[in-house]
Structure 1
Amino acid sequence: MTEVVAGRHRKPEPTYETPRTPREIYTVMSGLMIAMLLAMLDNMIVGTAMPTIVGELGGLAHLSWVVTAYALATAVATPIWAKLGDLWGRKGVFMASIVLFLIGSATSGLAQNMGELIGFRALQGIGAGGLMVGAMAIIGDLVPPRDRGRYQGLMAAVMPIAFVGGPLLGGFLTDNFSWRWAFYINIPLGILALVVIWFTMKLPVRRREARIDWRGAGLLAVAISSLTLLTSWGGTEYPWGSWQIVALGVLAVVATLVFVRAERRVDEPILPLGLFRSRNFTAAVVLTFLTGFAMFGAVTFLPQYQQIVQGASATDSGLLLLPLMAGMLVTSLLGGQIVTRTGHYRTLLIVGSFAMAGGLFLLSTMGLATTQLTSSLFMIVLGVGMGFLMQTTMLVVQNSVGMRDMGAASGAATLFRTIGGSLGVSLLGTLYATHLQSSLTDQLGAAAGAQVSGGQLTPAMLAQLPDGIRSAFRAAVTDGVQSAFFWAAAVAVAAVVAAFVIRQVALRSAADAAREVAPEPVAV
């Protein structure tokens, strides 16, 4: 029934349906987990296939764009998918994002040159933007916050599977079939997810008369694109002080300011700025950003150290990430159970932020003589921190908003985590490359240092070089990795501050959610 509130018609916010049995929820979650696996697995699989892809299609200069196009499209599309789910219902929108992702996967596998592959990867990324945020928002619709921890812990278990299984699967498919199967493998998984979701997911269909904020979406796309290009090109393609980088910085700032102004004037903003009035929401979003920064940075640079300094093979380096993923898996499941049974989450965030910062600092101390056992123990500490943070921060985000804004809030958190990961890889990558070049120059001289660092030097090629050059390169990589992790730890200190800012607020139970309706009507 529509109520008159202060002269306006306002519909009650949606509430939870009749509580579902755990079996019904687990059945629905099986489809959601497959969809999330698609989004997470893709980059991991493609990463190990990239040398073969470049060798067959050519275009080594555009190699980074195969990854950047996907990540950029995902970041831009995430809040749009979230808003579409709020407006038109989550089930149909979520299935549409899976279909678009599968179309992008199929066309990427059929690409005949690098230009086509980059374009199809962008299409794939647009679909991927709806997978993560859609899954989180659907869980928010199905389960009240008080009971959500146990289920979100299971969702977090998908990530270690993707991060460890992805490189192994990508190498196997490339070696035994073709690099194109790195994309084709998504199709049967996606079809299975569609079937499960179609037959098991029963969500209320909510259609609201509203216009999509395309202007806001466009401005947000410009701001994110400019920032991504700035961090990707700064110090590599162009000097930091060049007019290209300065122009991108100015464009990012201007687009952000215009976006903020525009969002204040529309009825249905793509990113409701009012959400940031909540202290807990804002602090939790900062934590998601920093967690993404740490997670993607660690996964990017640890294999470099393991393969070049510790002498592990590409396949073994994937297995050597298991301590990191095990720490994430155990603590995400444990944290979910603790939240479900006690309703308390603030302590988990504080412990997780300290562990994440401490783990990154320990990794910054790795040297030429550090054993695999020692580095594994350091990774466990980092994994424990990220495991406590990843799903708990999403829980705080969703508990800080009403059901009406569940999708927008989940989309904001996912967006900032994606941006954090992108900036983490870009900025830490610049630090890594700068210190590597500087170390090689000091040890080998400018000409030899530039030749070694600028060439395509795989771990197998490194073993064939003279002892002096090999030792210099291993030392340079160690110096670069130490610098990257040290500054990542410095940034992670902000996560400790954000965790202390968050206040313990009671989580909504199913009964509380059922009473979540519009305010009492006010006489006009």
Structure 2
Amino acid sequence: MSATSTDAAAPPRMSHRQVLEALSGLLLGMFVSMLASTVVSTSLPVIIHDLDGDQAAFTWVVTATLLTTAISTPIWGKLADLTNRKVLYQLAIVIFVVATAAAGFSQSPEMLIACRAVQGIGAGGLAALSQVLMADIISPRERGRYMGLFGGVMALATIGGPLLGGVITDAWGWRWNFFVALPVAVVALILVQTTLHVPARPRKKTTIDIAGIVLLSVAVSLLLIWVTNAGTTTTGAWEDLANNNDWWSLTSVLMVGGALVCAILFVIVELRSAEPLIPLSLFRNRTFTLSVIASIATGIAMFGASVFLSQYMQLARGATPTEAGLMTIPMIGGLLISSIGVGALVTKFGTWKPYLIVGSVLLVAGSYLLSTIHYDTNFFLVSVYMFLLGAGVGMTMQNLVLVVQNTTRPEEIGVASSGVTFFRSLGGTVGVSVMGAALAAKVTQLVGERKEDIQAAIMSLGDKAQYWAEQLQSGSLPKVSAMPEALRTVFESIYGTGISHAFLIGVPFAVLSLVAIVFLPNKPLTTMTTTERLEASEADVATVSVPEAMATLGATGAVPSVSTDSGADADTAADRDDTRAGRGGDRPSR
């Protein structure tokens, strides 16, 4: 088959209207995912307080979702390369929403953590598959403005979610936060079914790397459990300041050692697996490797800020859930403006690296400045710091996936896209766990240092002294906004210092992200969709291989085997695809 005939047989490029119709279901599915998560963020301190949970429970309610999201993301990505992507996306929506609804009936922190873990499995599918499906119908050059839409939807859900969650919590109770996404999910399923039409893919024998899944899950879980529990108290009582779980106790050594052993075994299994969960050959692509490093810092900034800024507003500034949602708008405004604006600029000018560098600089600045806040810091300054962090996330998050898709072989778009998303989620998971552990340890230390102030404040409460003494002894996360003034001031100061200490952890990772982005190869964006690139690769193989085979047959009488690109040099493969774009890929959208 000739290249010309392949171009003639290729389906016409979708118009802007057709693309928007096809993306409507993906956008709404992403909105459901984000809304179901963010609507709970402002009410989480109230939820943990009502369920008698402590700071560790607070951290694990968040971490459980991030952990299963991270682990399931490469699984969804691998399945996307092997089977029907549209059906997988619909399945992810169903899993996510059913688990979210079940979480609304939680009677204990443990039940809530379990439901959130299942929720993360569906979230991993929505995060990975939306990027893969978009690559099927839109070229990287055109994808900038459409990724801006994804950024806008994420910003809308992140702004509206906390506000809606605060109103629902204050008016009807926090359980209704988990049910609000159900009608939206039904609409998303219908839209995906009726508007999203992806090219048919050849059937493949599907094999799942079970050993890789188990080893990765155990390695990450052991690491996170160790980080969450080591160096903190076991009883949770405010008066018990003994360090019962030493960082280097026998338990710590066993857990860290077990995580390292499982990680090494995971690498060995991936090298030998026919269908590896994360093909290690992807790391031969410098763009992929550096994007993964940069994504880790983005994940820490994005997830850490969403979790601990809500705590800061409620525990360090005494805000209600509704007020906390309003107070985080500056960060979401930065995310909204930067993601939509930069996406449009990428599509218009075809350049991406300057925006990523600026975004990573803003990540460094925002992370550092948030590490300086206290309970009485001028809120205008806090708003500026949040805006800078949000703008940095908006400039880097989607564009790192874009540059990886631009240089990856079309046969590996699924695992490559999910790989970047996986490490971003993993970075966020580990980051939230480390920040949560640092916050818990710092709060415990500060409570010990200010024990006399706390006792004096309690004694000044008269007949309410016994009640508040029992509340603090329970070890559950305090509801600072409901505390008497004398006691509230002390705990606002403690939590303000503790949360700023937690933000400091993200600074070195943000600096590492900046270094990685600076060294990213500045490859121009191709104008071909994944489907067109795949057809172009097949046509090139046929064009080159058939004459060679005929020549060999005439000389030896034997037909040689035809080998394809092994993936060792994905950047070069992408260049070949874009060379063909000069013949068929640069045609304008109709």
Which TM-score applies when normalising by structure 2?
A: 0.79
> 2:500 matched to 1:482?
yes
Describe the shift of the 1:246–1:162 C-alpha distance in structure 2 as closer, same or farther (beyond 3 A): farther
Cα distance in structure 1, aligned partners of 2:366 and 2:58 = 31
Task: Render the CA deviation track for 1:417-456: whole Å, top value 9, x for unaligned.
Answer: 111111121112222233333334334459959x869564
2:255 to 235, 248, 265: 248
In the alignment, structure 1 segments of 5+ residues that lack a partner are 2-11
- Percent identity, aligned pairs only, is 37
Instruction: Give the match for residue 152 of structure 1.
Output: 147
Instruction: Give the match for residue 84 of structure 1.
Output: 79
**Does the CA-based 8 Å contact 1:362-1:378 persist in structure 2?**
yes
Instruction: Give the match for residue 265 of structure 1.
Output: 272
**Does the CA-based 8 Å contact 2:167-2:322 persist in structure 1?**
no
Instruction: Give the match for residue 184 of structure 2.
Output: 189
Please list, as runs of the form range in 1=range in 2, the aligned pairs for 1:491-510 lying within 5 A after superposition. 491-510=509-528
Q: What residue identity is the alignment partner of 2:371?
A: S
Compute the displacement of 1:504 (Å): 0.4
Compute the displacement of 1:113 (Å): 5.6
Task: Render the CA deviation track for 1:19-56: whole Å, top value 9, x for unaligned.
Answer: 11111111122211111122222232234444665677
Cα distance in structure 1, aligned partners of 2:315 and 2:172 = 27
**Does the CA-based 8 Å contact 1:16-1:141 persist in structure 2?**
no
Cα distance in structure 2, aligned partners of 1:63 and 1:403 = 41
**Does the CA-based 8 Å contact 1:65-1:118 persist in structure 2?**
yes
Please list, as runs of the form range in 1=range in 2, the aligned pairs for 1:111-130 lying within 5 A after superposition. 111=106, 116-130=111-125
Compute the displacement of 1:130 (Å): 0.6
Instruction: Give the match for residue 5 of structure 1.
Output: none
Please list, as runs of the form range in 1=range in 2, the aligned pairs for 1:422-437 lying within 5 A after superposition. 422-437=429-444
1:233 to 213, 223, 229: 229
**Does the CA-based 8 Å contact 2:85-2:133 persist in structure 1?**
yes
Compute the displacement of 1:63 (Å): 5.6
Instruction: Give the match for residue 214 of structure 1.
Output: 210
> 2:89 matched to 1:94?
yes
Segment drifting more, 223-232 vs 344-353: 223-232
**Does the CA-based 8 Å contact 2:31-2:153 persist in structure 1?**
yes
Compute the displacement of 1:154 (Å): 0.9
> 2:391 matched to 1:384?
yes
Instruction: Give the match for residue 341 of structure 1.
Output: 348
RMSD: 2.8
**Does the CA-based 8 Å contact 2:147-2:343 persist in structure 1?**
yes
**Does the CA-based 8 Å contact 2:316-2:494 persist in structure 1?**
no
Compute the displacement of 1:316 (Å): 1.6
Q: What residue identity is the alignment partner of 1:458?
A: K
Compute the displacement of 1:170 (Å): 2.1
2:18 to 15, 24, 36: 24
Cα distance in structure 1, aligned partners of 2:45 and 2:381 = 30
1:35 to 29, 34, 41: 29
**Does the CA-based 8 Å contact 1:16-1:144 persist in structure 2?**
no
Q: What residue identity is the alignment partner of 1:160?
A: A
Instruction: Give the match for residue 296 of structure 2.
Output: 289
SS, match of residue 131 in structure 1: helix
Compute the displacement of 1:477 (Å): 2.6
> 2:536 matched to 1:515?
yes
Cα distance in structure 1, aligned partners of 2:405 and 2:517 = 16
Cα distance in structure 2, aligned partners of 1:470 and 1:418 = 35
SS, match of residue 504 in structure 2: helix
Compute the displacement of 1:72 (Å): 2.4
Cα distance in structure 2, aligned partners of 1:52 and 1:375 = 23
Task: Render the CA deviation track for 1:308-352: whole Å, top value 9, x for unaligned.
Answer: 444443312211111111111111111111211222111111111
Cα distance in structure 2, aligned partners of 1:177 and 1:119 = 24
Please list, as runs of the form range in 1=range in 2, the aligned pairs for 1:393-408 lying within 5 A after superposition. 393-408=400-415
SS, match of residue 277 in structure 2: coil
Cα distance in structure 1, aligned partners of 2:89 and 2:10 = 19
Compute the displacement of 1:137 (Å): 0.9
Cα distance in structure 2, aligned partners of 1:16 and 1:100 = 35
Instruction: Give the match for residue 65 of structure 2.
Output: 70
Describe the shift of the 1:17–1:56 C-alpha distance in structure 2 as closer, same or farther (beyond 3 A): farther
Cα distance in structure 1, aligned partners of 2:177 and 2:510 = 33
Describe the shift of the 1:144–1:166 C-alpha distance in structure 2 as closer, same or farther (beyond 3 A): same
Q: What residue identity is the alignment partner of 1:339?
A: V
Cα distance in structure 1, aligned partners of 2:393 and 2:110 = 36
Describe the shift of the 1:300–1:128 C-alpha distance in structure 2 as closer, same or farther (beyond 3 A): closer
**Does the CA-based 8 Å contact 2:315-2:481 persist in structure 1?**
no
Describe the shift of the 1:115–1:427 C-alpha distance in structure 2 as closer, same or farther (beyond 3 A): closer
**Does the CA-based 8 Å contact 2:99-2:119 persist in structure 1?**
yes
Describe the shift of the 1:21–1:401 C-alpha distance in structure 2 as closer, same or farther (beyond 3 A): same
Name the larger-Rg structure.
2
Compute the displacement of 1:112 (Å): 5.6
Instruction: Give the match for residue 220 of structure 2.
Output: 224
Cα distance in structure 1, aligned partners of 2:198 and 2:111 = 38
Cα distance in structure 2, aligned partners of 1:24 and 1:506 = 26
> 2:357 matched to 1:350?
yes
In the alignment, structure 2 segments of 5+ residues that lack a partner are 235-244, 457-468, 550-559, 561-590
Cα distance in structure 1, aligned partners of 2:443 and 2:254 = 28
Describe the shift of the 1:375–1:411 C-alpha distance in structure 2 as closer, same or farther (beyond 3 A): same
Instruction: Give the match for residue 372 of structure 2.
Output: 365
Instruction: Give the match for residue 158 of structure 2.
Output: 163
Cα distance in structure 2, aligned partners of 1:368 and 1:123 = 35
Describe the shift of the 1:63–1:348 C-alpha distance in structure 2 as closer, same or farther (beyond 3 A): closer
